[in-house]
Structure 1
Amino acid sequence: MTRATKLLTALPPPQRARLMTLAREVSFPEDTRIFEAGGRADRFWVIRSGAVSLDQRVTALQRVTVASLGAGDLLGWSWLFPPYEWDFGAEAFSPVRAYEFEAQAVLALCEEDPRLGLTLVRIVSEILAHRLETTRNKLLEQYAMHRRGVV
């Protein structure tokens, strides 16, 4: 498995500097729900410190963690693709500090600077591919444990 791509460090310095002009520092206390699956995806975050778990609701009372994110990780990509709704839920697993970016401002910057837009889409796509591979492996592992009667 390849190492996870970090959005800000993957951007060339001039493009990173342009994107960072739109950043706002935010924090989330431990156990805070950051967003819910199906909600309006109008922003994203780059985690500076702390941990966030991405989850999927499997029953009315049960959620399954599908990924854990930490410093440098991108939180939220649904803002980039219609219908602009979160595919997962996210919760602060510990106190979290992050850079927050409003989707409309980032999209406007990408239209103004198509090179930045293309680079950003490529990096987000690489992050998505890595997360899909990680999630697939985790599901296969859970399935194998279930078949052996471990779960």
Structure 2
Amino acid sequence: MTKATKLLTALPPPQRQRLMALAREVSFPEDTRIFEAGGTADRFWVIRSGAVSLTQQVTSIQRVTVASLGAGDLLGWSWLFPPYQWDFGAEAFSPVRAYEFEAQPVLKLCEEDAALGLSLVRIVAEILAHRLEMTRGKLMEQYGMHRRGVV
């Protein structure tokens, strides 16, 4: 498996500086729900420190962690694609510090700077491809355990 792409370090320095001009520092205490599946996706974060669990609601009372994110990872990509709703939920697994970006100013910046926009979309696509690969691996592992009667 390939190493996860980190959004900020993957951008060339001039593009990173333009994007960072739109960032604001935020923090989330441990066990804070950052967003819920189906909610309006109007921002994203780059985690500076701490851990975030991406979750999927499987029953009315049970959530399953589908991915764990840490320092440098992108949290939230649904702001880029209609219908602009979160596909998963997210919860701070530990105290989290992050850079927060509102979607509209970032999208406006991408329209003004097409090279930045293309870079950002390519990097997010790389991140999504990596997460899909990781999820596929977890599903295959679970399927194998189930077939062997471990689960």
TM-score interval, normalised by the smaller of the two chains = over 0.9
The percent of aligned pairs where both chains have the same amino acid is 87
Deviations 1:103-137 (A, max 9, x none): 00000000010100000000000000000010111
Task: Give the structure-2-normalised TM-score.
Answer: 0.99
Q: Which runs of 5+ in 1 are unaligned?
A: none
Q: Secondary structure at the match of 1:45?
A: strand
Letter in 2 for 1:128: L
Does the residue aligned with 1:91 lie in a helix, a strand or coil?
A: strand
Distance (Å, rounded) in 2 between the aligned partners of 1:147 and 1:89: 29
What residue number does 1:94 align with?
A: 94
**TM-score, normalised on structure 1?**
0.99
Q: How does 1:125-144 map to 2 (within 5 A)?
A: 125-144=125-144
| CA drift at 1:64 | 1.0
User: RMSD of the TM alignment (CA)?
Assistant: 0.5
Return structure 1 stretches of 4+ with deviation > 2 angstroms. none
User: Shift of residue 149 of structure 1?
Assistant: 1.8
Residue 109 of structure 2 corresponds to 109
What is aligned with 1:52?
52
Structure 2 partner of 1:35? 35
Q: Is residue 12 from structure 1 mapped to residue 23 from structure 2 by the alignment?
A: no
Q: CA deviation at 1:21?
A: 0.2
